[in-house]
Amino acid sequence: MSAQELSTFDNSDFDTGAGPIKRMIWYFVNSWIFNSYLFPFYALKRSLLRIFGAKIGVGVVIKPKVNIKYPWKLSIGQYTWIGEEVWLDNLDELNIGRNVCVSQGALILSGNHNYKKKSFDLITKKIKIEDSAWIGARSLVSQGVTVGQNAILMVASVASADLEEGGIYRGNPAELVKRRVQDED
């Protein structure tokens, strides 16, 4: 059995979607404003994300200490909440719908490595979180996953496969435990 040989890793063909200057400027904006407790101003964060190419709906709330890899690969629908210490590691397109709650410390990871190759090649796939879904605190959504409308990924669970619309999922890997039913107001 052979193990990975990290000295052979070559990421030069990966398309970040932006040039080095834009990436460098974003690095500082992300560090100083988004991944900080110093700027709790939602309107400023929405505006900055739009300047960097993100599609951001009205009323989006982005709490402090959020880390966003590439805003130009990000779409967030109206009235969605991104909680404290969320990491949007969107090496590929990340589409978050309307009225979604991504709770504290959640990880949304659109990239991974191919463990079958010695060179440990990078693999990226799009992630879609549909309207009114809820990603619980300290949960993880991995590459290529679609979280269906109204689905819930419970606290500290791992979604490595698609989650059905209206399903409530728990565990690692996340398994369907029941259906979401909401009372009418």
Q: What is the pLDDT of residues 71-95, one digit of tens each?
A: 999 999 999 999 999 999 999 999 9
Identify which of 76, 78, 72 has the alpha carbon closest to the alpha carbon of residue 92: 72
Cα–Cα distance for residue pair 84/102, rounded to 1 Å: 9
Domains, in order of start, for the chain = 19-177 (2.160.10.10)
Cα–Cα distance for residue pair 28/93, rounded to 1 Å: 21
What is the reported pLDDT for 1?
55
What is the reported pLDDT for 103?
98
Q: Are 134 and 103 in contact (CB under 8 A)?
A: yes
- Residues in the chain predicted with pLDDT less than 70, given as ranges, are 1-2
Identify which of 96, 89, 174, 82 has the alpha carbon closest to the alpha carbon of residue 128: 96
Q: Kindly state the tokens that stand for 151.
A: 């689905």
On the 0-12 / 13-18 / 19+ scale of CB atoms within 10 A, 23 is middle
